[in-house]
Structure 1
Amino acid sequence: MTTTSDHPPAFEPVGSIELRSLVDSKIIGVSLYSNRAEITRVYKFAVKTGQNQVNISGLPNILEAESLRVEGRGAATIHDVTVSTAKGEHVPTSSPALAALLGKREKTVNALARCHKSIASLEHYLSSLTVEHLDVSKLESVMEQYDSSGDRLDAKKSELTEELRIIDLDITAERTRIAVPHENDKLRVKAAIGVFAQAAGDVEIALIYAVPRATWTAFYDIRVDMSTKEDPITLIYKAGITQNTGESWDDVPLTLETSTPTFGLGIPELSPWNLDVQRFAELKKSKGSRRGFPNSGDLLPAGLMSSSRDRDRSSRRMELEEMSMPDGVLDEPMGFGGASVTSKGNFSATFRVPGMVSIPTDGEAHNFTIVQLNLKADMSWVCVPKVDTKAHITARITNASEYTLLAGTASVYVDGSFISRSDIPSVSPKESFDCPLGVDPSIRITYHPVIKNLSQSGFYTKSANYVFSQRITVFNTKGSAIERLKIIDQIPTSQNSQIEVKLVSPALTVPTKDTTGMSSINLKAAGPKATPQIVTVARGVVAQWDGVDEPDYAVEALGLDRKLNWVCSVGAQAKINLTLDWEVSVSPASVRIQGL
């Protein structure tokens, strides 16, 4: 026998809850990637005991339906979620205001026509009067009535003309207003959510969804103080944010993500690559095709696409719980801390923009400062006077902060003056990078004309010997010394056994290839990374093969291109002279040298 206790408790009929996204919710978080944004919206509403159908309208048209997920808090369970798109609202071609204006205009046009007709009739009446019909004694009275009636009609004509002008302006404005599509045309996506409540009360649900047409890029201001050696670089890290998603982000916490989401990207596979003997018949048949080599159509795809999304960002998740709570009381929503940055090296970093921000859906760039950093830098000057006598400033900057620097453009200011624009590479914390800072006009370099002497030697077979001398003058007009100025130059390279090139000064050993293919400047006992010769030319000046101070240089390649440089320390208001001497020998002397 069935007792009443065996029956489930009676619930109220299914309750329908209508929510408009812009009015009945608030964005509590935006995570912005390079090409998309993830939005978290929170809705708070009352439910009845039993099944409730929550209909949310006004979501962006470009919402990625497969990214939508729903999480909530309260004594309820989420059963199902469906997403659909409402039909576009009809854009009216008329309105009550426009109809009223058109009616008013018609009345004003008619009144103005009557006024014109009255004035014409008055004129016609006056012109029709003759001596036979009008006594002279009454002429003055008729003229006074004509003037009075004419003034009244002229005033009415002016009034109606101005009124008609204003009505036409109002009609144009109203037609313009109703011709603009409603804002809701970009917010026509609807979500239907089934919520089963244990008891009546308030609940919260969060909709988390991704939208394209939102992006951010990094850019910088780099300010250089040449008068200080302690942290001379001030780097201002900025973000340019653009969004045209259809919904404005008003007073929201914003997180900038440096990673780019990928969807099921797999490791590429290699196709078999087989070799076989090419037969003449097959060669003729294939018309020259190479058998055995994989064609582009035979390659396996680089990766497999998947519709699944990465949904494990615990820092933004709201735990869905079924709990008993006092009526009208909810758990505190997930809070957000102050301005902070979580840096994870060059692979990924997460930035929290300080405070709350508002970004309209206008497609325009909105700039925000992430952080200002004072960084250490080693300043150097580089000049290639054979090509250009200008001295270029370069800073070797060390990112001593916890912030990952993304690739972007930088505006460079030296001592308060804008110098140039530069490109910043991706830089991890503790990593160093080179930043060009423009041209320094206070370093004056003179590349003097080369001095050339010719002599001949030999009895039977004459040899021609050319001796060249190149002088370079450096003048530091600054009031302070510069510690590192690099002057780069070169001597020619012989491409023929009849021509021999010898570096005389500075006395660096010109590398040559021996039978083992190794450079002669390699000391076998010291291994392949032996330190090459560096010559001290004068106090504060050393000469070396170009590239020796680069990281991971190849010793066997140094000097093969015959490029060398001087590294100089130049005092304030001081001059130094550098000399490059070399010889070119050719045998027989009758051989003409090309390129000399």
Structure 2
Amino acid sequence: LEPDTQEYAVAKAAVETAQDAVTALKDEISKKQSEITAANAQLEFLKSLSDSDTLPDGIDTLRDLSRMISDETLSANVTIQNAENTVRNLRKNLPNLQDGVAMAQRALSALLPPTDRFAQLTLTVSVPAATNSDISVKYLVGDAAWRPVYDMRLTTGYDPKLVVERGALLLQQSGERWNDVNLTLSTVGLKERSEPSRIFPLPMRISDPDLMVKRQLNSRVQSSYAEADMVLEAPAIIEEASGGVTDLSGIAAQYNFEYAMSLDSSGDFTRVALGALDFDAEIEARAVPLNNPTAYRMVTFTNSSGERILPAEASLYVDGRLIADSYVNQIIPGAETELGFGPIHGLRLTRTTLDRNEGDRGIITRSNENTETVRIDVENLTGDDWDVTLLDRVPYAEQEDLIIDWSAAPRPTTTDYEDMRGVLHWDLEIKSGTTQSVNLKTKITWPEGMVLR
């Protein structure tokens, strides 16, 4: 049955209006095609008339007949050309009108009750007299979900800013249509664990390494005997993590909407806005020539909003242009965060090996020395000056007999960058149209008879 509602009546009228527009357009196309057919018939008649063997005598009569055939032929050709142009233009509009019909029909179908069979609730109410009452039913819906999504818009210039436009993608497949509902979004996961994991004792023991080797050999021959000889270890207990996204702050985020909204059960996502957050931003170029041919734009900001930025997919914009799709991890209030905003194609990186000596390359390698000289070039082809953070590396050793010496010109600003051993960091200021170079030399020596790995 069709719903007896004003909303359904309006949607049905919209479908009829869209269908009428398509019909009217097709009628107009048919009319013009009829004009083309008539004009072609006229041309055929004029051609047969000019080819006739029974033309009248007299020069004046023939001249008038010839002029008439010429004028009518021209008129028919003009009619055909104009009608064909009109038909082409009308056919261009037909797909848009047909799409309008499809959209109107989808909107109408969304207002119809679901055809699938779902659980029904039947109530028996006894009252002493006729009355009007409201009945409220509360229940959980499992086929509904939401997830955050962001548009992150970076504005460059003298005072760079980052605007985080927050949104939510809503989905429900309950089989019901939710009309004018008051919606609240929360990060609470009803299936998340409600208590911390347990911790168990960790026993340690030592043993004779020769005895361990002997047991390993025995296990290859007689695995059953070896298992009998093995020392029993304390069982390792691994708790299975439950599903859902963990709320690291301990407090659930909640979003309330000031307006009612409607969601159908089509299975399509509906995007709603959750407001925007503004931050001051710092921009730098980061160059890793070991892996990349260009530098990348890095943005640092502090979450001063007092709200958590939830983990989600994000579309990244620079000065209004979409440059990449990315994923943003959770950013708690007060945390400083760094995000990449795509490559800077005008900052070109090259890493050239100038010299490398790995010793004798014969069947038996007797060399115990390895040297390498590398030049790194950062070329600024953009129209702006850039502060560039250049990162590269040298090997490091954890053995006293393995000696590694290196030198760099210019010297790096930081060694062991962010506590990563051997990672070097330079702060460079590169003017537009200029190139800066870094020379890096490495020498590795080790005892005779040993192999470098």
TM-score where L is the length of structure 2: 0.58
* Partners of 1:505 and 1:264 in 2: CA distance: 52
Aligned residue for 1:230? 160
Is the 8 Å Cα contact of residues 312 and 327 (structure 2) preserved in structure 1? yes
1:403 and 2:307 matched: yes
Residue 470 of structure 1: CA displacement? 2.1
Residue 468 of structure 1: CA displacement? 3.9
Aligned residue for 2:283? 379
Residue 570 of structure 1: CA displacement? 2.2
**Which one of the candidate residues 257, 269, 276 is aligned to 2:186?**
257
What amino acid sits opposite 1:358 in the alignment? S
Aligned residue for 1:487? 390
Aligned residue for 1:543? 413
Aligned residue for 1:433? 337
1:216 and 2:132 matched: no
Residue 566 of structure 1: CA displacement? 1.2
* Partners of 1:465 and 1:300 in 2: CA distance: 50
What amino acid sits opposite 2:142 in the alignment? P
* Partners of 1:463 and 1:275 in 2: CA distance: 42
* Structure 1 unaligned residues grouped into runs of 5+: 1-21, 25-180, 277-282, 304-342, 456-461, 507-535
Partner secondary structure for residue 567 of structure 1: strand
Q: Percent identity?
A: 20
1:190 and 2:94 matched: no
What pairs with 1:518-533 in structure 2 (closer than 5 Å)? none
**Which one of the candidate residues 272, 296, 305 is aligned to 1:368?**
272
Aligned residue for 2:404? 501
**Which one of the candidate residues 430, 442, 445 is aligned to 1:570?**
430
Aligned residue for 1:451? 355
Deviations 1:114-137 (A, max 9, x none): xxxxxxxxxxxxxxxxxxxxxxxx
Aligned residue for 2:442? 582
* Partners of 1:405 and 1:382 in 2: CA distance: 24
Deviations 1:64-88 (A, max 9, x none): xxxxxxxxxxxxxxxxxxxxxxxxx
What pairs with 1:115-264 in structure 2 (closer than 5 Å)? 183=114, 185-192=116-123, 204-231=134-161, 233-262=162-191
Deviations 1:61-113 (A, max 9, x none): xxxxxxxxxxxxxxxxxxxxxxxxxxxxxxxxxxxxxxxxxxxxxxxxxxxxx
Residue 202 of structure 1: CA displacement? 5.9
Is the 8 Å Cα contact of residues 408 and 424 (structure 1) preserved in structure 2? yes
What amino acid sits opposite 2:265 in the alignment? T
Partner secondary structure for residue 564 of structure 1: strand
Cα distance change, pair 501–211 in 1 and its aligned pair in 2 (3 A): same
Deviations 1:177-218 (A, max 9, x none): xxxx97364444215377899x99765443222111000111
Cα distance change, pair 583–185 in 1 and its aligned pair in 2 (3 A): closer
* Partners of 2:330 and 2:193 in 1: CA distance: 25
* Partners of 1:345 and 1:295 in 2: CA distance: 29
Residue 241 of structure 1: CA displacement? 0.8
1:420 and 2:349 matched: no
* Partners of 1:393 and 1:473 in 2: CA distance: 18
* Partners of 2:351 and 2:313 in 1: CA distance: 33
* Partners of 2:248 and 2:395 in 1: CA distance: 48
* Partners of 1:435 and 1:284 in 2: CA distance: 57
Aligned residue for 1:476? 380
Deviations 1:380-400 (A, max 9, x none): 222221233221222223222
What pairs with 1:72-151 in structure 2 (closer than 5 Å)? none
* Partners of 2:196 and 2:248 in 1: CA distance: 23
Residue 585 of structure 1: CA displacement? 4.0
Residue 469 of structure 1: CA displacement? 3.1
Aligned residue for 2:80? none
Residue 473 of structure 1: CA displacement? 1.9
* Partners of 1:241 and 1:568 in 2: CA distance: 46
Q: Mark the structure with the bigger radius of gyration.
A: 1
What pairs with 1:301-340 in structure 2 (closer than 5 Å)? none
**Which one of the candidate residues 277, 294, 314 is aligned to 2:235?**
294
Residue 237 of structure 1: CA displacement? 1.1
Is the 8 Å Cα contact of residues 271 and 300 (structure 1) preserved in structure 2? no
Cα distance change, pair 220–448 in 1 and its aligned pair in 2 (3 A): same
Is the 8 Å Cα contact of residues 248 and 359 (structure 1) preserved in structure 2? yes
TM-score where L is the length of structure 1: 0.45
Is the 8 Å Cα contact of residues 269 and 302 (structure 1) preserved in structure 2? no
* Structure 2 unaligned residues grouped into runs of 5+: 6-111, 206-223, 360-365
Partner secondary structure for residue 479 of structure 1: coil
Cα distance change, pair 270–396 in 1 and its aligned pair in 2 (3 A): closer
Residue 286 of structure 1: CA displacement? 7.3
Cα distance change, pair 185–444 in 1 and its aligned pair in 2 (3 A): closer
Residue 486 of structure 1: CA displacement? 1.9
**Which deviates more from structure 2 when the two are superposed, residues 364-373 or residues 347-356?**
347-356
Cα RMSD after superposing both structures:
4.3
Bigger share in helix: 2
Is the 8 Å Cα contact of residues 187 and 247 (structure 1) preserved in structure 2? no
